[in-house]
């Protein structure tokens, strides 16, 4: 029997490239630039410098140069409804709580999961799950290795709106096989998964 809930929406995925840029940009624009104009630049080496327009231009430049790894999720109507960014630590150096992270750092992972985002009208319907699942498949195809995510604890905590789970919910990563490595903030953990080739 296939492991599919009959009424679960079905999603497709694609990488962010110059060809899919317009789909990504439409989702960012429909969500006011994401956090008022982040344009998903927070984890890239440049960080959140400049104006929202500067960030849009820099994100586009990364897309053109192939220095961004990001899975886009599409609904059945072909609309981009979410994404999950991933990359090497050099590609994504600006994680949250970096100082605490570095204090007890053993070995850097091969891969990091960076920004995760589902459009505000499409939440709690499995978009983020589809995004991270596709990221892990991309990583496997690229040779695998140690993957880190930095999600937020949701259990034993007051319920949180998705909007405040900036790095995603821990339960999602747990479900996909990640395990806690160490705590780097009151509600944020380093989680790790070894992906085989
Ligand atoms: C966090 C976020 C990515 C979740 O996306 P989503 O598509 O709604 O998540 P999914 O529907 O795939 O949920 C998968 C699992 O995550 C967990 N989850 C999702 N939203 C949750 C919430 N608000 N509280 C607790 N757990 C949650 C659940 O375990 C869920 O599994 P279930 O549906 O079987 O219970 C989304 O709310 C979001 O984009 N928030 C803003 C994040 C942001 O600011 N990104 C920019 C970063 S700088």
Q: Which residues surround ligand 1 with Cβ inside 6 Å?
A: 34, 42, 82, 115-118, 123-129, 154, 160-163, 165-166, 168-169, 171-172
The per-residue pLDDT string of the chain (197 residues; one tens digit each, 9 = 90 and over) reads: 444 455 668 999 999 999 999 999 999 999 999 999 999 999 999 999 999 999 999 999 999 999 999 999 999 999 999 999 999 999 999 999 999 999 989 999 999 999 999 999 999 999 999 999 999 999 999 999 999 999 999 999 999 999 999 999 999 999 999 999 999 999 999 999 999 98
- Compute the distance between CA of residue 69 and CA of residue 138 in angstroms, rounded to an integer: 9
Strands of the sheet with 179-185, listed across from one edge: 12-15, 69-74, 80-87, 111-118, 145-149, 188-195, 179-185
**Global confidence as pTM:** 0.96
For residue 62, how far is its CA from the centre of ligand 1 (angstroms)?
A: 26
- Per-residue b or e along 13-45, where b marks 16 or more CB atoms closer than 10 Å to that residue's CB: bbbbeeebeebbbebbeebebbeebbbbbbbbe
Domains of the chain: 12-195 (3.40.630.30)
């Amino acid at each position: 029997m296939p492991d599919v809930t009959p009424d679960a929406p079905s999603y497709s995925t694609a990488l962010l490239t110059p060809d899919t840029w317009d789909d990504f940009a439409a989702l960012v624009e429909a969500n006011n630039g994401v956090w008022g104009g982040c344009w998903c630049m927070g984890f890239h080496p440049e960080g959140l410098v400049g104006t929202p327009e500067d960030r849009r231009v820099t994100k586009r430049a990364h897309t053109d140069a192939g220095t961004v790894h990001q899975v886009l999720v599409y609904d059945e109507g072909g609309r981009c409804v979410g994404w999950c960014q991933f990359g090497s630590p050099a590609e994504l150096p600006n994680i949250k709580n970096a100082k605490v992270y570095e204090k007890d750092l053993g070995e850097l992972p091969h891969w990091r999961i960076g920004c995760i985002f589902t459009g505000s009208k499409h939440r709690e319907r499995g978009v983020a799950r589809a995004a991270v699942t596709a990221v892990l498949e991309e990583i496997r195809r690229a040779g695998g290795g140690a993957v880190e995510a930095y999600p937020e604890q949701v259990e034993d905590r007051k319920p949180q709106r998705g909007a405040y789970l900036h790095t995603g919910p821990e339960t999602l990563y747990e479900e996909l096989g990640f395990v806690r490595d160490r705590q780097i903030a009151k509600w944020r953990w380093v989680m790790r998964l070894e992906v085989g080739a």
